[in-house]
Every structure is written in C-alpha cells, then in structure tokens.
Structure 1
Amino acid sequence: MAKIQMTTPLVEMDGDEMTRIIWQMIKDELICPHVDLKTEYYDLGLEHRNATDDQVTVDSAEATKRLGVAVKCATITPNAARMDEYDLKQMWKSPNGTIRALLDGTVFRTPITVAGIEPCVRSWVKPITIARHAYGDVYKNTELRVPGPGTVELVYTAADGTETRELVHEFDGPGIAQGMHNLDASIESFARSCFEYALDVKQDIWFATKDTISKKYDHRFKDIFQEIYDAEYAARFEEAGIEYFYTLIDDAVARV
C-alpha cells in the first residue's frame, strides 16, 4: 500500500527523557510505515536548549509561524535540582511559555473521544474543551522577594513622563510580590480564537473570570470578549445554534 504523501513539512519539537523514546517509537511503528513523514526538526531537549542558550526554542516557534503546524513533545522546565543535574548555564524558562508567547497562542485542551472507552462520569455525554490564554500573566511575570518592612507599588510612566501609582502593599516584615501584565491586542486575539473554535466544532462557550475581585485585570477580559462577540459573532452563533455567555469562574466550575 502506497504511503500518504506530505506536501508541506510540519515542525517537529523533540523533548526530554522518556518522551524522546516514546516519540521515536510512535514515528517508527505508527506513522512512518504509512506516511511519508516530512518534518523540520528541532531538539528541545534540555541539554540542547542549554547549549544554544535557548535559541533553539525561539527558532522552533518561528518555524511554526512559517509552516503553520507543529508537534511538540514534553520538555523539562528546570528547577534548582535540574540546574545541578544538567550543569545548566541558567534556569531556563518554560519552553511552552516561550513558544506560546511568540505565537501569541491560545491553548485548547480537548478530550479525544474513542468508541468503547466510556467516561467515568456517565452523565458527561459531550466533551468539554478548556481554552486558556497563553500570553502574559504568570508566564511573563516579575517577582520580588521583599526582605523587610517597606512599600511595594505599581508605577505606570506614560510617554510624556507623567506617573500613575497604585499601592500594592505596605509590608511590616518580609514577604513576596508579583507583577503581571497583558495586552488588549492579545486578549482580542484570544477571544477571536475561542469564538472561531466554537463555531468550528459547534460548542457553546462559557467564559468565566473573577471580575468581582479583579475589577480591572479580569474585568478587561470580560469587556473585550463581550465587545467582540456583540460586534462580530452574535449573528453567527445564533445561526449555528450555539450560545455564548459570561459567568463567574465559581459558577462555571459548579456547572461542570
């Protein structure tokens, strides 16, 4: 039987430890006998990331932009113990975080339903897809170890030099602080990805934040989603017979 021919290569991101062995077995036994596999290969094993000062991770993301499809194996995000084990130059950041930031990517985690394999919760008859924004937030945070009493503030300096300041906390002893950011443009891209995915697979969207507590950060997500839905997707969702609604994250969990 003739092999399936590929016209465009995909990006192949190899991983760490047992993943490398399993991925090679998958290719040898399940893919290559049937498909004329064409890939652009990148070794994201921790040793090679260290040798290239993590440039290989950036290169793999740029290749994904160019070719459109990538397969990535599991990789190690090093901690202090891995620093010694692999004799690393520095504690390299999460490859997933680097790649997603460069792609301005949205992560969809969706179950693969297989006939004959039944869910543990029998009342779950439709798959639930989790969509996660993959830019900014904790992946691009700035952290500070507060050594003792003092003040931590958020400071925004505008192009004209004017400052806006918000108190984070008055510390009366040691502690920690963390700053996060996001971009309207990236949130808008996330929203459109979610709406387009929902239309493609005919799934309702439940969008949830904690805007009752995070009245500026989370609330910005809520507003942008609603604005884009009303302007670009309301009629398409109605025609497709699917629904979009906003709720608190507590309620979304309860509904699941």
Structure 2
Amino acid sequence: MTPPDLIVIPARYGSTRLPGKPLRPIAGRSMLERVIANGSQAAQLAGDCELVVATDDERIADHARALGAKVAMTEESLDSGSARAHAAALQQEHTPERVICLQGDAPFISGEIVAGLLSRLRKGTAQVATPVYQLDWDRLDRLREHKRTAPFSGTTCLRDGEGKALWFSKTILPALRDETELRKQPLSPVWQHLGLYAYTMEALEWFVNAPRGTYEALESLEQLRFLESGWAIATVPVPTPQHSLSGIDTPEDLALAEEAITRLGDPFPA
C-alpha cells in the first residue's frame, strides 16, 4: 500500500529576529494554531495525507499536542525547515513519497494553496514545486515600502516561460528600467514567493545531503541550493492572497498581520 503524503510544519523557538514566534499570538490565536488549522484543512482537501509538527522545543511540542497535532521531535542543529521536514518524514511508520514543508511562521497560506501544490506534485512532472503570485502595482509599492524597514522580509521569484524558477531573492527582481510605461498594464512583472515547498522524497533526500550553496548562504534562501546545483523547481501560480504577508520574521511583521486581520477579516478556517 502506498504510504500517505505528509505535510510537515517546521517550528523553531530560537528565531534570532523574533524568538518563540510560533507561540506568538495573532488576533487571539497563536501563529502555530493558525498554521496547523490551514495544514489540517489541506490534508482533508488533498486526501491520503497526514500532518505533523516538527520542532526541537518542548514548549512548541506541548502547544502542538494541545491543538491535536502529531509531533516529531528533531535535532536543534538542523539548519533549515526542509531538513527538519526530512527528519520528521523519516520518523513516520512508512516513509512518504511526497512531503510538503509548510513553515510554522506562515499563518496566512490557505489550505487550498497547500492542497493545490500537493496536487501539482502528484502529477509526477516535478520533483520540487512552490507557489508564486504576480504583484499588482499597489502591492509592489507596499512591498518596496515594507523593505525599507524589513529588507529581508518577502522573497521574489524570476520564472521562465514554462514556469520553472530561474532565481529567488530577497531583493525585488527584476529591476524595472521603464516603469512608467510598464505601469500602463494592471500587473507588474514581479512575482512574489509564498514560503511553501513540495518535494518528492528523492529531492528532499538530496537536499539534506548536499552542501549549502554559496548564494543560499548569502540570501538565506534554502531553495537556492537546488538551483545552484541544476535542479528544476516548478513554480505554481496562485491567486493573490488577500492577506499577502506569507511569512512573519519581525515584530513589524506581527503588527502588519494584526492590522490585516482588523482590516480584512480573519481567514482562520472554521
């Protein structure tokens, strides 16, 4: 019997910019509670899929269990969410063929997006996949302004004509030389990345055994390890999220998340 696919939520306590962030409240619910709810919804939508929280901290583990989630305790020395997802996958009774890495600091990535990414991987034409969305000009202006105070929050993606990733960066790419003319179109040429990855187990095994890439270290973007070594990453276009803050890295991001919920409503699944 084919083992179920696995959604892993890596959740570290020791963030340098926002310690204990999976436990931080956002509009009355912890960040981890929000991510678990979205991941559980995705597992139900996808079918034949399980969910586990991977952490190295008992405070996070206790909170996850109190929310009804399975927990995999992983080594503190693991240096990326993907490495933590791999360790959690190996702890399952049967090793899954496909693993979704849903970061514990991404409370606004919906269950529909997660399930859609798993569906893309199940088609068998990609070994690594990740979602992106195209920015309109208002959102691009807001991203630029946000990066004035939080320059490493928010990742952009360059794609080829077939949707394969050319590059990811914390810098806003591409540079726009003739922006006045470009603004006559409703959408900018900039694609923003959502911090969510789907891997075949083969790709994930390669990742954890490969050396860290030069640009991966400079940008602190683990997906660059694949691109630097010639792997293809399929990008999956998704609708622009109403709550566009995909990852929370700083106190400023927390404030923006609270403001977005106040302004737009709470997307927590019923």
TM-score (norm. length: structure 2): 0.27
The alignment's TM-score, normalised by the length of structure 1, stands at 0.29
Larger C-alpha radius of gyration, 1 or 2? 1
- Point out which structure has higher relative CO (alpha carbons under 8 A, 6+ apart): 2
